[in-house]
């Protein structure tokens, strides 16, 4: 590393979303002088603001499950982790548990996840159909899969079988105000000496003698640092192009448009109080309780749904009739008393999708330039542990470690899990075990 005293900061972090905030919080806690820059007016105003913020461990790889298991532990320990007050209050973690719907298909994603849980020692309850009916009486346990769109002739076909209950992890849950978590991270980092600049757009990545040396902003300012971290969410690709590292990465990222819908809980059932987070691969949806006794319905990215890759600065932010119907009618099949409200409520935002839907937590071919990107609609839950991985990686590489040939291993501060950061390499091949989809 170049002499840090010749720079304004030790590290510049581009993006004050939940991952950028966690990187700033972690590095500043280790004594780094960090500057976080965001073009928005406040923390968490990028894709994090519309995150479903579901915390779950249903991944199809051992590394994915263990990262999520370690990552979960930050949420119930949030006040301690943040380490300071926030005048806006701290987030609440709603630990309602997560249910994976069981079908009769032994080759299903759910059974694959269960096998990985068994390997990893993740505890879960196996619910019978009767237990499921007792917990969630509004659920119709018919099997209708594979997922279809409402204009498919078979959409309203009768059930071809019955669910065999589900797998339930009691630690799963959600955060109902993901933007607040970013403000909490900002306040936590500031208490450790970190600086944040808002309404500040990065337009260039600066280099000196072959390594990164800072950034240029739209207003002409040029803060300097020997380390720059790209945590720009769906704009990650644009920042990588500015740094001239885009072409040298084997795994790329791009912005994928996504809709999430909110419908009132059926009459007579308080889903906000009694609901769980649920992943339903039979119908291609996931759902969770939402404030105001609503049910939030997301898409599990079934193959029949079109994938809309867009320019992150120019895309349609209104809910489309076709996707509203697809998600809300699928939810109606599972909960027939739900109904379809006239008013379409929900959000449209972007996933920063990597080629295999697994994040990239890595260095790049430009010395000093790091990436925490490709979070693919599923890394809110891992913000705390991602902050740790990035800080461990940056400290090791800046200390001379050859991460590309000898990947850094990070030890989870809560579970002691050994996490091989090489799993998230920019130069990996597409992981064939990835489901290329998410449950939130």
Binding site for ligand FAD (CB under 6 A): 14-20, 37-40, 45-48, 50-54, 201-202, 231-235, 258, 260, 349-351, 375, 377-381, 440
- CB nearer to ligand FAD: pick between 166 and 234: 234
Phi, psi of 297 (to 5 degrees): -120, 120
Q: How many CA atoms lie within 13 A of 419 on its CB side?
A: 30
Q: Which run of H or E residues covers position 271?
A: helix 271-274
- CB nearer to ligand FAD: pick between 16 and 283: 16
DSSP secondary structure letter of residue 324: H
Whole-angstrom Cα distance, residue 78 to residue 91? 8
DSSP secondary structure letter of residue 221: -
- CB nearer to ligand FAD: pick between 39 and 187: 39
Q: Shortest gap between Cβ of 33 and ligand FAD (angstroms)?
A: 19
Q: Shortest gap between Cβ of 128 and ligand FAD (angstroms)?
A: 27
Q: Shortest gap between Cβ of 54 and ligand FAD (angstroms)?
A: 3
Whole-angstrom Cα distance, residue 385 to residue 371? 15
- CB nearer to ligand FAD: pick between 16 and 227: 16
Q: Shortest gap between Cβ of 134 and ligand FAD (angstroms)?
A: 26
Q: Which of 373, 368, 369 is nearest to 357 (CA)?
A: 373
Q: Shortest gap between Cβ of 96 and ligand FAD (angstroms)?
A: 13
Whole-angstrom Cα distance, residue 367 to residue 397? 9
- CB nearer to ligand FAD: pick between 9 and 144: 9
Whole-angstrom Cα distance, residue 345 to residue 106? 36
- CB nearer to ligand FAD: pick between 144 and 371: 371
Give the tokens for residue 83: 């380490």
- CB nearer to ligand FAD: pick between 47 and 332: 47
Q: Shortest gap between Cβ of 438 and ligand FAD (angstroms)?
A: 7
181: number of Cβ within 10 Å: 30
Q: Which of 390, 423, 417, 422 is nearest to 404 (CA)?
A: 422
Q: Shortest gap between Cβ of 160 and ligand FAD (angstroms)?
A: 29
Do strands 173-175 and 54-55 pair parallel, antiparallel, or not at all (unpaired)? antiparallel
């Amino acid at each position: 590393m170049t002499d840090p005293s010749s720079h304004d900061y030790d590290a510049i972090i581009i993006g004050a979303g939940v991952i950028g905030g966690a990187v700033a919080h972690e590095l500043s806690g280790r004594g780094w002088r960090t500057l976080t820059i965001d073009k928005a007016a406040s923390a968490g105003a990028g894709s994090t603001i519309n995150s479903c913020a579901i915390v779950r461990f249903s991944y199809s790889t051992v590394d994915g499950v263990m990262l999520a298991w370690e990552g979960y532990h930050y949420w119930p320990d949030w006040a301690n982790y943040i380490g300071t007050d926030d005048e806006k209050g701290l987030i609440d973690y709603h630990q309602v548990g997560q249910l994976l719907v069981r079908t009769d298909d032994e080759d299903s994603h759910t059974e694959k996840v269960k096998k990985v849980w068994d390997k990893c020692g993740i505890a879960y309850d196996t619910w019978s159909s009767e237990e499921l009916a007792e917990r969630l009486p509004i659920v119709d346990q018919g099997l209708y899969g594979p997922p279809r769109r409402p204009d498919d002739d078979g959409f309203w076909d009768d059930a071809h079988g019955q669910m065999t209950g589900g797998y339930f992890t009691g630690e799963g849950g959600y955060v109902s105000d993901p933007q607040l978590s970013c403000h909490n991270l900002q306040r936590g980092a500031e208490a450790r000496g970190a600086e944040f600049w808002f309404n500040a757009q990065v337009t260039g990545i600066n280099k000196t003698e072959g390594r990164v040396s800072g950034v240029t902003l739209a207003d002409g300012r040029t803060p300097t640092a020997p380390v720059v971290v790209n945590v720009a969410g769906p704009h990650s690709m644009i920042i990588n192009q500015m740094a001239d590292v885009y072409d040298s990465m084997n795994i790329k990222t791009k912005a994928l448009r996504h809709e999430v819908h909110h419908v009132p809980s059926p009459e007579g059932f308080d889903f906000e109080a009694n609901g769980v987070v649920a992943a339903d691969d039979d119908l291609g949806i996931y759902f969770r309780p939402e404030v105001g006794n609503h049910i939030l319905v997301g898409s599990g990215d079934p193959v029949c749904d079109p994938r809309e890759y867009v320019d992150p600065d120019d895309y349609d932010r209104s809910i489309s009739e076709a996707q509203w119907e697809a998600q809300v009618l699928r939810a109606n099949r599972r909960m027939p008393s739900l109904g379809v409200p006239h008013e379409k409520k929900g959000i449209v935002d972007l996933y920063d999708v990597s080629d295999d839907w697994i994040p990239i937590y890595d260095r790049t071919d430009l010395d000093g330039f790091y990436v925490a990107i490709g979070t693919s609609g599923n890394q809110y839950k891992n913000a705390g542990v991602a902050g740790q991985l990035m800080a461990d990686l940056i400290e090791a590489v800046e200390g001379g470690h050859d991460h590309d040939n000898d990947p850094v291993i990070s030890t989870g501060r809560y579970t002691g899990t050994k996490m091989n950061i090489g799993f998230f390499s920019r130069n990996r091949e597409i992981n064939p075990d990835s489901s290329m989809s998410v449950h939130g």
